[in-house]
């Protein structure tokens, strides 16, 4: 399911706590080597739950064309 929005994680400020991954209802966020979180845009529905729970404030939800 593709929506018009998608989450994006700023790896420069991500603390790799995993809160976003646990909060994502679509399981679209996973850990990447080097202790960073990664969004799979083919799964993400742009709901913003990850951005709301992120303690570092490193997640934004943007229009798909702007990511």
* Per-residue pLDDT, 35: 80
DSSP class per residue in 11-54: TTT-----HHHHH-TT--EEEETTTEEEE-TTT-----HHHHH-
* Per-residue pLDDT, 32: 84
Q: What angle do CA 56, 44, 7 make, to 5 degrees?
A: 35
Query: Residue 1 — very low, low, confident or very high, per pLDDT cuts 50/70/90?
Result: low
* Per-residue pLDDT, 46: 97
Give pTM, 2 decimals.
Answer: 0.88
Tell me the pLDDT tens digit for each residue of 4-45: 999 999 999 999 999 999 999 999 999 988 788 999 999 999
Domains of the chain, earliest start first: 5-66 (3.30.70.20)
């Amino acid at each position: 399911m593709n929506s018009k929005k998608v989450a994006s994680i700023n790896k420069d400020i991500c603390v790799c706590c995993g809160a976003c991954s646990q909060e994502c209802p679509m399981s679209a966020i996973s850990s990447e080597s080097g202790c960073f979180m990664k969004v799979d845009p083919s799964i993400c529905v742009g709901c913003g739950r990850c951005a709301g729970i992120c303690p570092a404030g490193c997640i934004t939800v943007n229009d798909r064309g702007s990511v």
